[in-house]
Amino acid sequence: MMEMILNEHDMAVGARFENGTIQDYVDDKNTYGLLRILDNTVNWFLYNKIESDEDTQELYKKVIKSDHFIHDDFGEEIVLFNKKGDMSYEDMLEKINDYMDDSVGSIY
């Protein structure tokens, strides 16, 4: 079960769950977020070749040159990078998917 973290405008900007947190944005340009599960962390962002803004396009070009993981979901990619800890990218991706499913569900 996730508890949404809201900003001052009551918009979801992250969530707390049993053993960690997820945030949408942790950088000045609002291009990537942070997932923390126990002692494991990974940065993440959504990428679409056509719709992503210039800052996200630049981040994508930089990230794919180093250790990363990409899950393509019909043209929208979930990009994970800067992983620390021994949890797999796949397990971390599962938590990001849970969060996105919860976020979309809470809008309706």
Kindly give the confidence (pLDDT) of every residue in the chain, 108 residues in length, as a single tens digit, with 9 standing for 90 and above.
Answer: 889 999 999 888 999 999 999 999 999 999 999 999 999 999 999 999 999 999 999 999 999 999 999 999 888 999 999 999 999 999 999 999 999 888 665 543
Domains of the chain: total: 1
Calpha distance 63→24 (Å, rounded): 17
The stretches of the chain forming alpha helices (DSSP H) are 54-63, 89-107
Calpha distance 33→43 (Å, rounded): 5
The distance in angstroms from the start CA to the end CA of the chain is 18
- At 105 the pLDDT is 52
- At 59 the pLDDT is 98
Residue 37 domain boundaries:
3-107
In 28-75, the DSSP E strands lie at 33-37, 40-47, 68-73
